[in-house]
Amino acid sequence: MTLQFVNETDLSLPFDCEEIANRVINASLDSEGFPFEAEVGLTLVDNESIHELNKEFRGIDRPTDVLSFPLIEYSKPGDFSEIENNEDNFSPETGEAMLGDIVISIPKVREQAKEYGHSLLREFSFLVAHSMLHLMGYDHMEDDERKVMENKQTLILDNLGISRTKEENYEEE
């Protein structure tokens, strides 16, 4: 798996974001049984940058926590059987399936961790897992889709030992 990692801000979190993202991305791919080597882009930004992207690509005039830009279309979520039918789904340089890009707002990670009363690590990991599911065709527009995504996100994070427990508190490090 290749992770194209970029931090476009002066902001940071109290852990190695690239290393955690690698772990969560690999766990997401494993959890879904993704059958190919994959390439994913992850960019960390500030609220101003994600606000501009959210407005441009979704028509929503406010910052958000995470944006996902899938490059592969699926006939149904998590169905990877048709990926090989389109050579454009694969990088000519590496042969890896190009899943797409994730953009995460570092200020939103901090804000939401505090709001939800859990760690910065848990919030960041959750956003990566959530986006990975989007890059594999899942969505949450309908209630049944939302429940499927929630269950899959919980499974991915639990498998990594990054669960949301009552004992876990917000970390301002």
Q: Is 27 exposed, middle or buried (0-12, 13-18, 19+ CB in 10 A)?
A: buried
What pLDDT is recorded for position 27? 98
Q: What is the pLDDT of residues 122-151, one digit of tens each?
A: 999 999 999 999 999 999 888 899 999 999
List, for residues 17-43, the tens digit of each pLDDT value.
999 999 999 999 999 999 999 999 999
pLDDT for the residue 170: 43
> What pLDDT is attached to residue 169?
44
The whole-angstrom separation of Cα 6 and Cα 2 is 13
pLDDT tens digit string along 73-97?
999 999 999 999 999 999 999 999 9
Q: How far apart are CA 27 and CA 29, in angstroms?
A: 5
Could you tell me the pTM of the whole model? 0.94
160: number of Cβ within 10 Å: 18
Q: Which single residue is written with the structure tokens 């996902």?
A: 68
For residue 164, what pLDDT is reported? 72
Residue 165: predicted pLDDT: 55
CATH number of 2-159: 3.40.390.30
Q: Where are the domains of the chain?
A: 2-159
Q: Which residues contact 93 (CB under 8 A, 6 or more apart)?
A: none
- From CA 1, how far away is CA 107, in angstroms rounded? 27
